[in-house]
Amino acid sequence: MVSDPILHAFTNLLIWLPVLLFLGSVSFYYHKDFIFSITGVNEVTRKEEPFIYNTVENLCISRGLKTPNIGIIEDNKLNAFAIGWNDKNSWIVFTRGLIENLTKKEIQAVAAHELTHIKNKDNLLILIIILFIGVIKTLGEAIIRSLRYNSSGNKGGIYFFIIGTVLLIVGHIIFPFVQLAITKSREFLADAGAVELTKDKDSMISALKKIQKEKNSLSLEEKSIYHMYIENPSSKNGWTNSHPSIEDRIKALESY
């Protein structure tokens, strides 16, 4: 057993860092497969779903963008999300309920909102933030656990205890709130991007109203990716919600 708490802390870090790097790499490269396994996304072609495919493609052509892959979730909820940040791995996913209950212009507005997320590389930004938060929390826990061997109360152990505690506070409290603030700001930007692409703020507003009125709910598995949806109905408005309130988003849209 290592008796020096400082040496033990460094040993823990050397053990955990490769693990964290491996897990981070897996999350980075396979997050699409994880998301699709949770939501049950089915890829669709122009032949299978000409309306939704052409809607997205026309938006992309108008801006000189490559058309992303299109997916549909056979679910009555009214929701949509985008993943990816380049031409090769980007997807826009719609629920069947959204396609069947929104007008053509409203669907176009939602598609433009999600396309803006891809253009702004929002999925990459949030993924990096989530991975960074995980690293900070794990390092803090590794340091604190290593100090259970410290019986001497030397200054080195005290310094490591302070560092570990700060990392835990940052990882569990501060950075998650930073993440929420960033995801909220990106939703406002995506709404604005939808108006820029479609020149039609009224359709974006009416789409949001319909989505809010539907009172969607997310399954336990879906809650792990709540930040990706166009609207997160699973938590109340406030600091703990990943999205701005529909009322605030509409107010911002009306100002354009």
**Predicted confidence band of residue 216 (pLDDT cuts 50, 70, 90):** low
- Which range among 24-28, 225-229, 242-246 shows the weakest confidence by mean pLDDT? 24-28
**Predicted confidence band of residue 185 (pLDDT cuts 50, 70, 90):** very high
What's the pLDDT score for residue 51?
95
114 assigned to active site: yes
- Which range among 70-79, 191-200, 202-211, 220-229 shows the weakest confidence by mean pLDDT? 220-229
Burial 42-74 (b: 16+ CB within 10 A, else e): eebeeeebeebbebbbebbeeeebebbbbbbbe
Contacts of 127 (CB under 8 A, 6+ apart): 27, 28, 31
Question: Distance (Å, rounded) from C-alpha 161 to C-alpha 15?
Answer: 19
Cβ atoms of 210 and 233 closer than 8 Å: no
The domain in which residue 29 lies consists of 5-254
Structure tokens at 254: 């009306």
Question: Distance (Å, rounded) from C-alpha 115 to C-alpha 91?
Answer: 9
Residue from 205, 196, 243, 199 nearest 103 by CA: 205
Number of domain units in the chain: 1
CB atoms within 10 A of CB 149: 16
What's the pLDDT score for residue 81?
94
Mean pLDDT computed over every residue of the chain: 84
Three-state secondary structure call for residue 43: strand
What is the arithmetic mean of pLDDT over 228-252?
A: 78
Three-state secondary structure call for residue 203: helix
Question: Distance (Å, rounded) from C-alpha 131 to C-alpha 153?
Answer: 33
What's the pLDDT score for residue 222?
65
What is the arithmetic mean of pLDDT over 113-131?
A: 90
Distances (CA, A) of 185 to 76, 208, 243, 244: 28, 16, 8, 8
Chain segment 164-179, per-residue pLDDT in tens:
889 899 888 888 888 8
pTM, rounded to two decimals: 0.83
Chain segment 80-112, per-residue pLDDT in tens:
999 988 877 899 999 999 999 999 999 999 999
Question: Distance (Å, rounded) from C-alpha 241 to C-alpha 249?
Answer: 14
Chain segment 24-58, per-residue pLDDT in tens:
777 677 788 888 988 899 999 999 999 999 999 99
What's the pLDDT score for residue 236?
54
What's the pLDDT score for residue 1?
44
Cβ atoms of 191 and 122 closer than 8 Å: no
Chain segment 5-33, per-residue pLDDT in tens:
566 666 766 777 777 777 777 767 778 88
Three-state secondary structure call for residue 42: strand
The interaxial angle of helices 104-119 and 175-198, nearest 10 deg, is 130
Q: Looking at the predicted structure, is the pLDDT value of residue 130 above 80?
A: yes
What's the pLDDT score for residue 2?
44
Question: Distance (Å, rounded) from C-alpha 102 to C-alpha 60?
Answer: 20
Distances (CA, A) of 105 to 39, 84, 192: 25, 24, 16
The active-site residue out of 49, 57, 106, 114 is 114
